[in-house]
Amino acid sequence: MRFRSGAHEEDQRANGEAEDDSAEDDKKKPSRVYRYAFMLPTDNNVTVPMFTIAYEELYNPELTQVVAIRIWKFVYDKSHSDSELCRKLLDENRDTYLNAGSAHAPNASRRKNLLNEQKHNRGNACASLEHYAGMQYTIIQNEELWYRNITNWGGGQTVNNSARPFFVDDELPSGINNKRITPDNVLGGTHPLSPEYVFNARRHMALSAGLVDFDDEPIEVHPDFIDPSKYFTDNDEFMLPEASRKNDGFFFLVNSYVNNVFDVALPRPIYGTTSVGLHLLELFKEQFYNEVKARGGTNASAADCFVNMMTQQDPLVVEMVRLMAETVVTYDSIDAPEAMRRQQLQHYGEMDSDSNYIIEPQQFVKKLAQETRRVISVLIQVWLKKREAIRNLKYKEIQQLAESEGEEGMEIDYYDDRMAELREYEDETTSRHCKVMKDLIELHLQRLEEAFNSRLERETIPAGYKAM
């Protein structure tokens, strides 16, 4: 169940039913709702979502690589207020937190259910951010903690680095944390720390906030992604920047029953900061032209197809398995057995002396080696064989021409002028092969480095590797 905010369909229908029996009006008003939807004022038979969530990929200035993502929230019900939801959540977090402290709540009024809830929250919020990012909201119980978190999100400000904050700290009103965040019937919220202001996409600082890496260095993106004028017309209508439209990098969540970004799958697979090199990606686009074209033909769609080829996994099957798994255990599951979170078994193509398949616990190093070999055999070696076949045809033509002139074709010197075209073709093949292999090696090393930095994948790496 969810907190209420706005003209909920449940409220509207309950009010309609209560007209016949005003004495039961209070009983029929729901305290919480199961989704955020309201009825159209012009047609009560049509139910529409109060808001939709969108996902945007932010590219570097050259538009060759996704360097960040942005989550949007489009609100359609004017009575829906993020400040109201924020207020209710802050109060709930505060009640839960206080009930778990011996000196924070009177013993006579301590609520055991909130005490148990705080025990669960403590384990999740204090655990690895990689596993429990969706539970970090529980550590924010008031405006002061909210202010600290959104300030930290912009990165650390130093002498040589101005960071990417949501606002200029010195321009905030005095005593900002003494005023509670409350809803506004027209604007949703007017508090300087309200979500309606802090994350407002019409503000340049809001669009650029948080664009810093793990070392607090600014992440450079295409200028269109941090310019509000590229997102809104003169009539205040939303539009996509040309940079986003060109790369098909904007997606809407159409499931109105899902309102938490941690409950949805990303529209494209992401491997942290790793990315396929341009030379390797161009070769893949050439060799799998029809498949890439069917997926849109962009670099992003080509990268998706490359990952599917490398992992040899059907994206539809992967999504189905993920959905089935999350119906059992999610990031916020209470008292989930540790066995359910352990790695699964895997077959890496090895067999014993009796030709039986060897099944073993997942090991990222073996998985990475298997996928790298697959790229070489399925993509690079196939391309090299095609180039070699063309090279042999060219050489045969040169031999036939020499024999027609009375010479022995097999005795033509490699550095003869007639071999110039063949030498140039071989040089092109060698040069491109080196660039492609360099991209593959860098991709391999980037993924290996990320595995060592990932708590989940690091657990699957043999102790000897981690000791080096």
Lowest-confidence range among 6-10, 112-116, 129-133, 191-195?
Answer: 129-133
- How far CA 386 is from CA of 298, 375, 414, in Å, comes to 25, 16, 22
Categorize the per-residue pLDDT at 401 as very low, low, confident or very high, splitting at 50, 70 and 90: confident
Task: Return the number of other C-beta atoms located less than 10 Å from residue 401's C-beta.
Answer: 13
Q: Dihedrals φ, ψ of 24, to 5°?
A: -100, 20
Which residue range forms the structural domain that includes residue 33?
A: 1-49
Tell me the C-alpha to C-alpha distance, in Å, between residue 9 and each of 12, 27, 96, 142.
5, 16, 29, 30
> Tens digit of pLDDT for each residue in 416-442?
888 888 899 999 999 999 999 999 999
- Nearest-angstrom CA–CA distance, 225 and 209: 11
Confirm whether 409 is domain-assigned: yes
Residue 283: is its pLDDT beyond 70?
yes
User: For a pLDDT cut of 70, what percent of the chain falls above it?
Assistant: 75
8 A C-beta contact, residue 111 and residue 99: yes
In a domain, 118, yes or no: no
Amino acid residing at 389: A
364 lies in a domain? yes
Of the pLDDT bands very low, low, confident and very high (cuts 50, 70, 90), residue 332 is low
Cα of 238 vs its chain's centroid, Å: 23
Domain count, the chain: 2
CB 307 within 8 A of CB 269: yes
- As a whole number of angstroms, the distance between CA 385 and CA 374 comes to 16
Q: At which of 32, 49, 66 does a domain end?
A: 49
Lowest mean pLDDT among 2-16, 317-331, 451-465: 317-331
Q: What is the pLDDT of residue 341?
A: 45
Helix (H) or strand (E) holding 27: helix 25-28
Residue type, 118: Q
Asked whether the beta carbons of 303 and 275 are under 8 A apart, the reply is yes
Region of poorest pLDDT, from 123-127, 151-155, 197-201, 274-278: 123-127
The answer to which of 100-104, 206-210, 218-222, 257-261 has the lowest mean pLDDT is 100-104
Give the pLDDT confidence score for residue 340 in this predicted structure: 45
In a domain, 275, yes or no: yes
Choose the final residue of a domain: 17, 33, 49: 49
> What percentage of the chain reaches a pLDDT higher than 90?
28
Highest mean pLDDT: which range of 110-119, 204-213, 347-356 = 204-213
Residues 6+ apart with CB under 8 A from 113: none
- Residue 108 located in a structural domain: no
| Residue among 468, 58, 455 at smallest CA distance from 243 | 58
pTM: 0.64
Instruction: Give the integer Cα–Cα distance in Å for 314 and 305.
Output: 10
Q: What is the pLDDT of residue 191?
A: 93
Task: Answer yes or no: is 41 within a domain.
Answer: yes
Asked if residues 52 and 253 have their Cβ atoms less than 8 Å apart, the reply is: yes
Give the C-alpha separation, 273 to 213, whole Å: 10
Report the alpha-carbon angle 216-222-226, nearest 5.
Answer: 75
The DSSP symbol for 220 reads: P
The pLDDT value given to residue 162: 66
* Residue 225 domain flag: no
Examine the fold and report which residue of 49, 69, 88 is the final residue of a domain before the chain moves on.
49
Q: If 0-12 CB within 10 Å is exposed, 13-18 middle and 19+ buried, where does residue 201 land?
A: middle
Position 291 scores a pLDDT of 85
Q: Would the pLDDT of 320 be above 80?
A: no
The pLDDT of residue 140: 87
Average pLDDT along the chain: 79
| Backbone φ, ψ for residue 124 (5° rounding) | -80, -50
Average pLDDT over residues 312-340: 53
Q: Which residue has the higher pLDDT, 222 or 357?
A: 222
Q: List the alpha helices (DSSP H) in 405-462.
A: 420-453, 455-458
- Own/partner pairs, 321-329, CB within 8 angstroms, 24+ separation: 322/265, 326/263
Q: Is the pLDDT of residue 32 over 70?
A: no
Inter-CA distances, 266 with 2, 57, 251, 468, Å: 23, 11, 10, 34
What is the pLDDT, as a whole number, of residue 412? Answer: 81
Encoded tokens for 365: 């190093």
The amino acid sitting at 88 is K
Pair 299, 59: CB distance under 8 Å: no
